[in-house]
Amino acid sequence: MAIILHNAKTEGLLESLGYSTNEWTALETGSTDPNVLYVVRPKGGSGFIVNRGLPGAGGVAMQTAELGALGVRRIIHIGTCGLLGPSLNEKSLIVSTGAYKDGGAVLLSDYHDGRVERLSYPEQDLVRRVSEVLKSDGIAAQQALGYTVPVFYFQPAGLIRSLLEGNCYSGNARPFYTEMEQAAFFETAKRMKLQAASIVVGSDRYTVVGGELRHEWLGDTDTLVKQATKAAIEALQGGIGKQ
């Protein structure tokens, strides 16, 4: 079992969760990409891997496939996202119910009757387990659909506006946030026959006010990322398989 964690302060986060430095080993894999794994063997509970996340479809697809090749069968992705409109509370974790596909996820997808489905989904048993842990721990959480856009600094304003105004999604399947990895992560896990779920934290928000597109940063996400990581570890260790 493993977590793909998009946080550069991985060691500090593990320490803040109570894991001492002698409970993990840092490994670097590959010769072309800076892929860092933390193999955690806690004094109590099952061991797990924390993979410091690489951004975008290429990064997360590579990491998910390599974790699967190492024998991992359950993976939870943890990252940040841009909230679309006012609906989601930035002080609550977001458990993904699915994601609109970017180009990388489309290439990873199967064709059905000559077409690719627009949405990609997590594994429902693992989503249920994550939600149960969050509820049991009293951690505020909400479930929502996302839209995977594999760029950060140059997200197209026209696309964001269209998502906010409801002009470019299917039926009632409205996305409430954008992020960079979920769809490719879910599709890679599907190909590898892995259980996959994703928790994200709102780092910024887009709104349309008076006809103008506005963007604001929401502040530090460290506390929420820590909550998400703690809940992910509990969910992975608790009762769904053994790997």
> Which pLDDT score, from 0 to 100, does residue 221 have?
95
The per-residue pLDDT for range 71-97, each reduced to its tens digit, is 999 999 999 999 999 999 999 999 999
> Would you tell me how many other CB atoms lie within 10 Å of the CB of residue 79?
25
What local confidence, expressed as pLDDT, does residue 170 receive?
A: 64
CATH number at residue 81: 3.40.50.1580
* C-beta neighbour count of 121 within 10 angstroms: 18
Q: What is the pLDDT of residue 54?
A: 93
| Confidence check: pLDDT of 239 > 60 | no
**Taking 70 as the threshold, does the pLDDT of residue 150 lie above it?**
yes
Inside any domain, residue 180: yes
Q: Is residue 102 part of a domain?
A: yes
Task: Kindly state whether residue 78 falls inside one of the protein's structural domains.
Answer: yes
Tokens (6 digits) for 53: 């996340």
CB 112 within 8 A of CB 232: no
Average pLDDT of the residues in 116-125: 94
pLDDT digits (tens, 9 = 90+) for 210-237: 889 999 999 999 999 999 999 999 999 9
Tokens representing 175 are 């996305």
Across 102-125, average pLDDT? 92
Percent of the chain with pLDDT over 90: 79
Q: Measuring CA to CA, how many Å separate 151 from each of 58, 95, 176, 217?
A: 12, 21, 17, 17
- Ramachandran angles phi, psi of 58, nearest 5°: -60, -45
Across the range 121-148, mean pLDDT stands at 96
Residue 80 lies in a domain: yes
Residue 212 lies in a domain: yes
The predicted model gives 161-174 an average pLDDT of 80
What is the model's pLDDT at position 154? Answer: 81
Q: Is residue 242 part of a domain?
A: no
Tell me whether residue 184 is in a domain. yes
> What value does the mean pLDDT take over residues 24-51?
89
CA 214 – CA 186 distance, rounded (Å): 30
Domain count, the chain: 1
**Residue 193, CA atoms < 13 Å, CB-side half-sphere:** 2
Read off the pLDDT of residues 61-70 as tens digits, 9 standing for 90 and up.
999 999 999 9
CA-angle at 237, arms to 94 and 178, nearest 5°? 20
DSSP bridge pairs for 81:
202
Q: Pairing relation of β-strands 93-100 and 141-148? A: parallel
Query: Is residue 199 in some structural domain?
Result: yes
* Burial class of residue 73, CB neighbours in 10 A (0-12, 13-18, 19+): middle
pTM, full prediction: 0.93
* pLDDT per residue as tens digits for the range 39-52: 999 988 789 999 99
Q: What is the mean pLDDT of the chain?
A: 92
Query: Containing domain of residue 225, as a range?
Result: 2-237
